[in-house]
Homo-oligomer: A and B are copies of this chain.
Amino acid sequence: MARKIKVGVAGYGVIGQRLADGVALQGDMELVGVADVAPTLSVRALKEKGMPYKLFTAAPDNRKALDDAGIPISGTLEDLVKQVDIMLDATSAGVGLKNKALYEKYGKKAVFQGGEKNSVADVFFHGYANYEAGLGADYLKLTSCNTTGLIRAVDCLDRVVGAEKVAITIIRRVADPGDYHRGLTNALQIDKAPSHQALDLMTIMPHVAATGILVHTPVTHGHIITVVLTPKKDISVEEAIEIFRAHPRIRVVSIDEGFLGNASLFRYARDLGNSRGDMYEIALWSDSVVKSGKDIMFAINIPQEAVVIPENIDAIRAAMEMQKTRDEGTAETNKYLGIGKWKITT
């Protein structure tokens, strides 16, 4: 067997922790360590768990705060970069661009998250929509959580019946559980249209026209997106549901089963015993799928904290050319993450 690909994670926050866990599950990868700057709650939890991952400090000047909190440090971010084949950068927006100089200095590949500018990377990447574009690339940028989930659904239909255009409404969670630095109280907030997710979809899938409106809502567990999709070929509601059901990263659920909204899905993931109550799959409500003329309309749920993890792992596979095709690459990721084993009776 080939040697394991060595991976480092910069930024041990909401996304970084989950990236580290996801990489650690891959049989053909090795998580060398994670880097962060301060004794955050996540870093304190890492310590309480007994340091299953090595921690490197991304801000050596802040080292005292980590030492004072009794957090063991294995070196600097630079030390980590030297030891890896590829970095997953999940730092705050803008920091990735700064870190890139370090990755370039040591000739290491890197995958950036949706918050960075597109110019940070050579390829704007989605595991299912354009895996092959990432093959061998040095710098990839992942789509954001909403766009990642949305493209799964649109790409899924597009490959079977062709998608001409989409109009999306994003009902966005405004904060993650535990966030105190942002929030909304008894308010919906609208962004200027079109939303960036519609524009990003067109960058990844240039043959589809897209527009959309985004509204922030005061909840923490998962976005809901409604999609009005004009297919090239007419398709029934039942056919659409079957196409969605065949996608490993789309979980078809229904109100009748008890999935009443985003909070049901979070509860279900917790009851499954998933780490942190996370869910890698988007959910699609079978009883939301309707038609108006040829247009098909449906609603999906985006579990914002974990949804991008599989596509990030796909990005490593593409960049390192571990698998040469979308089908092989995503299948390996799914296998190690345990995606696709479930089957809900509807």
Contacts and interface: CB of A to CB of B under 8 A. Distances in A.
A5 to B, nearest CB: 24
B190 A224 contact: yes
A226 B215 CA distance: 10
Interface string A226-268: 1010000000000000000000000000010111111110111
A183 interface: yes
Interface string A203-223: 000000111110111111110
B187 A219 contact: yes
How many of chain A's residues touch chain B, expressed as a range?
A: 35 or more
Contacts of A180: 184, 187, 189, 260-261, 263-264
A263 B187 contact: yes
Contacts of A39: 257-258
Given A221-B177, A264-B180, A273 B276 contact: yes
Given A41-B264, A219-B185, A276-B277, A271 B17 contact: yes
A291 interface: yes
Given A184-B180, A218-B185, A49 B273 contact: yes
Given A185-B184, A209-B293, A285-B190, A215 B268 contact: no
Given A44-B258, A190-B224, A193-B297, A218 B218 contact: yes
Contacts of A177: 186, 221, 263, 266-267, 270
A92 interface: no
B178 A344 contact: no
A185 B193 contact: no
11 contacts: A44-B257, A167-B167, A169-B169, A169-B171, A178-B268, A184-B185, A185-B218, A187-B260, A211-B292, A212-B290, A216-B261
